[in-house]
Amino acid sequence: MIAYTSLAVFLFSAIALVVPSGFSLGALLLLLGSLALLRTGTRGVRLDRADWLVIAAFLLYFGVTAGNHLVHHARPAEYDAPLRFVLAIPALVLLRAYPPASWSLWSGAALGGIGAGLLSLWLALVRHVDRPAASTNPIQYGNISLVLAMLCTCGLYWAIAERRNATWIILLATGAVLAALASLLSGSRGSWLALPVCLAAALYLMLRAGQARLAAKLMASCVIALALLWAIPQSGLRARSQAAISQADQYQRHHDADSSIGARLAMLRIGWLMAPQHWLLGWGKQGMFDHKASLVDQGLAAPSTREHTHLHNEYLDALVKRGVPGLLATALLYLVPLAAFAQAWASRPPHARPYAIAGVMLMLSYLAFGLTQAFLTHNNGVMILAFLVAILWGLARRPPTLVTAP
């Protein structure tokens, strides 16, 4: 059964971006595999308090969101995204019982990152696509690419700590670079916000583990890479950053909401105006959309905000649509797994640390993504988070007796 879960975990990351909804295949295999736990004679697993807390965070998010949808008479399709967190629970239990081999996560992330980077280069250089995004949109593509880059970087930590051969280091380093390049070429500025957050956390964890030299090398590498990307016009880093500053300034000075940043700032303003009117239950998705449209019709909001179905901020979007309970459920969905992975890093044996660090980085990335994007309103955002938490949790809690060489 470990071979089965290893294959599913490998496919989850390896084809996440190069195949439309590629992550769904690995997730489906894990869900189907969990049916094996119903058979007598299969390996059982005793879930502890930490397991139940992560599961409870998933169930709470679904329960609050689904309950709010019932109150606001939402369309059946609106239940799809939160339901994915419930479907990830059997996968989590399966991975606790049959944790995959290490190679499945790291090689899948590396190949997924390499594939995303090469696809972005082809779209940019051959097809002349301004912001490569394959089968999704640039923001989601940039976010998921950055998650793959983060996984590959944690994989490098694993390869170095466990003294793996040079092949692993080359593979994971290539995956990290190309996945980061895919995020850069997507032009998704919101994705880039996760970098300083994850870097600060990585440096802190390395220093606590007594790896000051490795932390210094990481910091130096990041500074050099940033300087090079800033100096190269084709990277788009300088142009996109300067455009963001200019657009924000134009909104502050002239209330220009026709730009990307201007529209986001205008939607934040709308959200803060709407939230106090329905603190408990929120407006619901359709209610928010209709009220926003009425504000536009009355000349109280910019026309550029009409088309957006979310507020481009995960936390404000949850508050406006689902009230304070929705905001709390969203916060716990992020913070409970974050605390669980941090505790696993501190208390688990050394072999578990790379997976625990990857879990911390995943949750911090999503917290940062949420500042400029309601990622949980998208199927790929939900699937990557829910099933990657299950995968990393299964590996971080893997008993030493089940640790096998990749």
pLDDT, residue 355, reads: 96
CA 371 from chain center: how many Å? 12
pLDDT, residue 80, reads: 94
**Domain regions of the chain by residue span:** 1-36+44-235+316-402
Strands (E), 102-177: none
Under-70 pLDDT residues of the chain: 40-44, 401-406
Compute the half-sphere exposure of residue 145: CA atoms within 13 Å on the CB side of its CA: 34
pLDDT, residue 315, reads: 96
Q: Which amino acid is at 148?
A: L
pLDDT, residue 241, reads: 85
pLDDT, residue 61, reads: 98
Measure Cα distances from 359 to 65, 80, 391 in Å: 24, 24, 9
Measure Cα distances from 199 to 75, 202, 364, 390 in Å: 40, 5, 10, 23
Residue 13 and residue 151 in contact, taking contact as beta carbons nearer than 8 Å: yes
Cβ contacts of residue 139 below 8 Å, gap of 6+? 186, 188, 190, 191, 373
Number of H helices, E strands in the chain: 16, 0
Buried b (16+ CB within 10 A) or exposed e, 335-345: ebbbbbbbebb
